[in-house]
Amino acid sequence: MRVVNLADAGDIAIREAAALLVEGFAEHWPEAWPDLDAARRSVDEALSGGRICRAAVGDDGNVLGWSAAEPLYNGNVWELTVLVVRPTLQRQGIGRALVTDMEERVRERGGLTIWLGSDDEDDMTSLAGVDLFPDPLEHLARIKDRKGHPFEFYRKMGFSIAGVLPDANGLGKPDIFLAKSVARR
């Protein structure tokens, strides 16, 4: 497996990347990319100027997973807008390879922090289905995973939980923020 620019991987790879968004988010985030048209729009956006868009490609050229990021705060922060691995290939190190690669790509552009929001729309954590006010940070300090929410994956990648936006996706459906420093200190 190697990680390459999705833009250089060809039209078939770009179509596979769109299909992966639908497939990869169907179980826990079905509203995120309900169909190929919506997914293709997001892929095109990820490939547009100034962003980073990388694909993990197998020996046969198939896309195994992909990632995208866009600059915020004058490029000090890069938001990881997409990270997905083919469901049948998860837990084999592909997500780790994509995150490690993204850290390098952000660092070489002078970025200091990678940031992302990871929604909980499917009762995946202890933050779902409860009123997080008046002290969201207290709930956040005691967060527990219920069914494989990706926040634990990001923590293994060295990310810190950096916040929560209550009710971001409807009552009791928060967005969980994670961030990691890639600064050379």
Ligand X SMILES: CC(C)(COP(=O)(O)OP(=O)(O)OC[C@H]1O[C@@H](n2cnc3c(N)ncnc32)[C@H](O)[C@@H]1OP(=O)(O)O)[C@@H](O)C(=O)NCCC(=O)NCCS
Closest CB to ligand X among residues 34, 93:
93
Closest CB to ligand X among residues 9, 176:
176
Q: Which amino acid is present at 131?
A: D
3 state SS of 177: strand
Note the residue count of the chain.
Answer: 185
Give the residue, chosen from 76, 156, 160, 167, that forms a contact with ligand X under the rule CB under 6 A: 156
How far apart are alpha carbons 2 and 63 in whole angstroms?
10
Closest CB to ligand X among residues 75, 158:
158
Non-local (6+) Cβ contacts of 69 within 8 A are 51, 52, 78, 79, 80, 81, 102, 105, 106, 114
84 touches ligand X (CB under 6 A): yes
91 touches ligand X (CB under 6 A): yes
Interface residues for ligand X in 99-118 (CB under 6 A)?
Answer: 116, 118
* Cβ-based burial of 80 (10 A; exposed 0-12, middle 13-18, buried ≥19): buried
150 touches ligand X (CB under 6 A): yes
142 touches ligand X (CB under 6 A): no
The site for ligand X (CB under 6 A) is made up of 24-25, 83-85, 90-96, 116, 118, 148, 150, 152-153, 156
